Amino acid sequence: MSGGRVSGISEVTRKASPTLAIAVALAAVAAVLLVLQMGLLAQLVDDLAFKGLSINADARPFVGFLCVALMRGCVQWVSDMAGEVAGQRAVTLFRQEMIRHVFRVGPVGLQGMETGRLATSLTDGVAAFQPYIAQYIPRAAAMVVLPLLILAVVAGLDGWSFLILAVTGPLIPVFMALVGYSAQSLMDRQWTRLLLLGASFLDAVQGLTTLRLFGRAQESVKMVQSMAEAHRLATMRVMRVAFLTSAVLEFFSSLAVALVAIVLGSRLLSGHVDFYTAFFVLLLAPEYFAPLRNFSASYHARQNALSAMDGLMAFMRLPELCVDRGKNPHQATTGAPEKLIFNDVSAGYGQGPNVLCGISFTAHRGTITAVTGASGSGKTTLLRVLLGVMPVRAGGIVAVDSTGNHIAAQNWRIGWVPQSPCLLNGTIRDNLHLANPDIDDAGLRSVAALAGVLSFIDALPDGLDTVVGDRGTALSGGEIRRLALARALMNAPDILVFDEPTADLDATNATMIAAAIKPLAAGRIVIAVSHRPDIINQADQVLHLPKGVIQSHEIQRAVA
């Protein structure tokens, strides 16, 4: 798993590699400028203190030092900015890829994942790569370049100081590797807690009514509380390790710098080393440890990204179930379908047996096909296959125009009214615009009239601007269903699909919906899953799926 997530992170990093390469290259240039700046400073102080240089007489060394310091600042700033841009770019591209995967997996494939866990992974999880790319990678590069450069310069200046730095420097990465190993498991635990917290909180909010009905709301609040507490404790454990690591690093590096200073001081007094050399080495010594300390400060970004990768990998492994409508081998005719033909269609979930087995029927334009059958007989599965959110295992579905040509599946215009339509938290207009953002108010009103919902909208004080609340909480079930029907009609579908359009509705609302469906069949192919006589009695054909694994189906003429 660890290897998999490391290669997963490398894959994300590769997305921004050109910009990241600029950040790393500039960090290396800044390292060279830093050494130069320290050399010039040592020279300047040496000249001012011991060689009688006056800045008034010759300002060039001072100006040179200032120029290098300024250049180094600018180069470092551009390097930091390039790192940030690389991080943002990688995260944006990765997020887009994840969103595309959501659509390719589709609602059926996503059923196996907890929504809260998925949401946390796709938001906080993806965001965890930003500091990893923007800070950790440039700092890791700087940790290699700057100390080596300084060691090389010090080696040429003073052997003893070189020895001290060369011995103490590598101790820090070794120590960090030891600490990092145990910190990773703490970080993994913290992420697991966060994912659990997200999933439980969402479950509790979604099931609030049920929990209250069974008197378990308090219990659920306590559970979320205890998960939040567990996450807090896990975070504190990670923080403790982080603080301890930086304290120990500070201690070691200060000790090493002090050792260099003592050795240099005593050798300066005994005349074994001149002031310029001693001062230059003393200026370089803290800079030798600074990248190691910076690296350690951003090391948790790597651990965080590794931990976040676990949740994302579980999501990335989900198989893509949505049918690629673009791959239809048939001629790309764009005309209206005259009939929709199911040819020996078989379909099922995962490795399980076929739920649909050799289904064949034809639905004609201008007719309503009602699909009935016992619970679990595969009615919803049949609609999913038609909507392209799951693939067929055998057979196929074709739409044929009036000249007998097959219409490419990407050109099918399908309107879908689910059993529990999802309205977004916005106005009625926003929700209707979702299907067709270009439609104007006149068009919107005429489609609403077609769906039998215009009088209801007009009776509201704010009309089309009425806010429907999250998932349409401000509306009744019947109103939501009729608005969903209007939304499905917005892009003038040729095929209209209903899943239990009148289920859970009172007689008045059910009659209104059923009455709206009949005229909609004119010029369209309507397929409706329903057990209700109000729909079945209007149907031109009734497709019955027997309970259990389907081996046959019957088509009966409905009572007119």
Q: Is the CB of 186 or the CB of 345 nearer to ligand ATP?
A: 345
Q: Least separation, in Å, of the C-beta of 373 and ligand ATP?
A: 6
281: its two tokens: 């080495």
DSSP SS3 for 372: strand
501: its two tokens: 């359009």
Q: Is the CB of 111 or the CB of 455 nearer to ligand ATP?
A: 111
Query: What are 372's strand-pairing partners?
Result: 544
Q: Least separation, in Å, of the C-beta of 510 and ligand ATP?
A: 17
Measured CA distances, 339 to 50, 297, 347, 411, 530 (Å): 99, 65, 21, 14, 21
Residue identified by tokens 């490391």 is 6
364: its two tokens: 């004609």
Q: Is the CB of 380 or the CB of 420 nearer to ligand ATP?
A: 380
Q: Is the CB of 53 or the CB of 503 nearer to ligand ATP?
A: 503
Write the burial class of residue 319 (CB in 10 Å: 0-12 exposed, 13-18 middle, 19+ buried). Answer: exposed
Buried b (16+ CB within 10 A) or exposed e, 542-551: bbebeeeebe
Binding site residues, ligand ATP, CB under 6 A: 108, 111, 349, 355, 373, 375-381
Q: Is the CB of 138 or the CB of 373 nearer to ligand ATP?
A: 373
Q: Least separation, in Å, of the C-beta of 472 and ligand ATP?
A: 21
Q: How far is CA 110 from the centre of its chain?
A: 14
Q: Is the CB of 285 or the CB of 355 nearer to ligand ATP?
A: 355
Torsion sign, CA atoms 374, 375, 381, 386: positive
Q: Least separation, in Å, of the C-beta of 559 and ligand ATP?
A: 22
CA pair distance 102, 318, nearest whole angstrom: 9
Q: Is the CB of 296 or the CB of 381 nearer to ligand ATP?
A: 381
CA pair distance 49, 182, nearest whole angstrom: 50
* φ and ψ of 324, to 5 deg: -80, 100
Q: Least separation, in Å, of the C-beta of 471 and ligand ATP?
A: 20
Q: Least separation, in Å, of the C-beta of 376 and ligand ATP?
A: 4
Q: Least separation, in Å, of the C-beta of 348 and ligand ATP?
A: 8
CA pair distance 208, 227, nearest whole angstrom: 17
